Structure 1
Amino acid sequence: MKKALLVIDLLNDFMQEGGALYCGAAARRVIPVVVEKIKEYIAQGLPLIFAMDAHDPDDLEFLRYPPHCVYETPGARLIPEIAQVIEEYPFVIKVPKSRFSAFFRTNLNNILRDLSPELVEVVGVCTNICVLYTVEELVNRDYKVVVLKDGVASFDENAHRWALEQMQSVLGAEIK
């Protein structure tokens, strides 16, 4: 089966203590799950797509959230646990994004159209923000979507559970 793994925002500012928008211990717990899934994809020669928050220093989003993931800063980089695993893998596609959905003003739609996966598996943070809004767009483009429940997290456990329920019951994504 042709499939792609979409990894959302596993970046230092979200995943590391002291990061500008640190998502907490729940986010740290997804790292081993995501690393294992990445290794599985690498072993099969399958595409890895990294949706990566990347903002200009004066981004208007900073009126709502503290500055985070500013271009070319350490906070905007993939966490070391992932960067090391993918370092020499040639089928890595990085998609910088500046809003919740990984489709907003990015080339993700074209990338997926070219790859034409039968399945898109999704992991990352935050479940109720960037994961949810990206999954909504995937579903609206008629992709079969599986969200790995142990591979997603949020700083807000209630919102995390709510988003998983919405993705399953409203959007029809499989929660696995």
Structure 2
Amino acid sequence: MTSHTALLIIDYTNDFVADKGALSCGKAGQAIEPNIISLADTFVKNGDWVILPTDVHKPNDPYHPETKLFPPHNVRNTWGREFYDGLKDWFNANKNEDKVYMYDKTRYSAFAGTDLDIRLRERHIDTLHLVGVCTDICVLHTAVDAYNLNYNIVVHQNGVAGLTPEGKKWALNHFKAVLGATVTD
């Protein structure tokens, strides 16, 4: 039986989660790690896809809009871009699985400027489960694009974290009220 479901683990890196990360969610981001790894294990066990769209940048890129907004972060081949803590171990243990792969992205949305939509459609995936950081930035923009591309969206509220509790709360409401997403534990 072919699976039509994928888990997207968005931007769960040191720069976004670790205490010394350049744009860290801090404790809120760290607290969701067991939930993310448990979901990833379940998806692999069920034969579903686990895709890790991961932000990548060049420092002080004059052509990238985030350069004006944020300090350098998720620079290729740096500690900041490595997966955070247990997810790093999980990925290293599972990266040779046929349905697990890391995916470079350079914008908030995992779809912007990538061939993710084509890859998902080739695999007949129609439902995306979203976890990662930040709820109100990259997870949100990925969800909006997924909605516009007509995917079913499931957001695991215990698997996402924002820079602020208010931002997370707003985004979770937006997922339900505006995108018709299922928000679950």
Equivalenced residue count is: 176
Is residue 176 of structure 2 the alignment partner of residue 171 of structure 1?
no
Query: C-alpha displacement at 1:2, in angstroms?
Result: 2.2
- Greater CA drift, 64-73 or 81-90: 81-90
Q: Secondary structure at the match of 1:99?
A: coil
Q: 1:36 aligns with which of 27, 38, 42?
A: 38
Identity score, percent: 35
Is residue 166 of structure 2 the alignment partner of residue 158 of structure 1?
yes
Q: 2:108 aligns with which of 100, 106, 122?
A: 100
Q: 1:116 aligns with which of 115, 120, 124?
A: 124
Letter in 2 for 1:53: D
Corresponding position of 2:82: 77
5+ unaligned residues in a row in structure 1: which ranges?
none
Q: Secondary structure at the match of 2:32?
A: helix
Q: 1:134 aligns with which of 136, 142, 150?
A: 142
Corresponding position of 1:19: 21
5+ unaligned residues in a row in structure 2: which ranges?
none
Query: C-alpha displacement at 1:45, in angstroms?
Result: 2.2
Distance 2:51 2:146 in 1: 13
Question: TM (normalized to structure 1)?
Answer: 0.95
Q: Secondary structure at the match of 1:106?
A: coil
Distance 1:125 1:49 in 2: 14
Q: Secondary structure at the match of 1:117?
A: coil
Distance 1:45 1:33 in 2: 18
Alpha-carbon displacement from aligned partner over 1:76-128 (angstroms, at most 9, x marks no partner): 11123012123242122221111111111112111211122232110010000
Alpha-carbon displacement from aligned partner over 1:1-33 (angstroms, at most 9, x marks no partner): 521100100001011110111112111111010
Q: Secondary structure at the match of 1:121?
A: strand
Do 1:95 and 1:107's aligned partners in 2 also have CA atoms closer than 8 Å? no
Q: Secondary structure at the match of 1:87?
A: helix
Instruction: Please list every run of at least 4 consecutive aligned residues from structure 1 whose deviation after the TM superposition is greater than 3 angstroms.
Output: none
Corresponding position of 1:147: 155
Distance 1:107 1:73 in 2: 24
Distance 1:34 1:149 in 2: 11
RMSD of the alignment, in Å?
1.2
Distance 2:93 2:47 in 1: 12
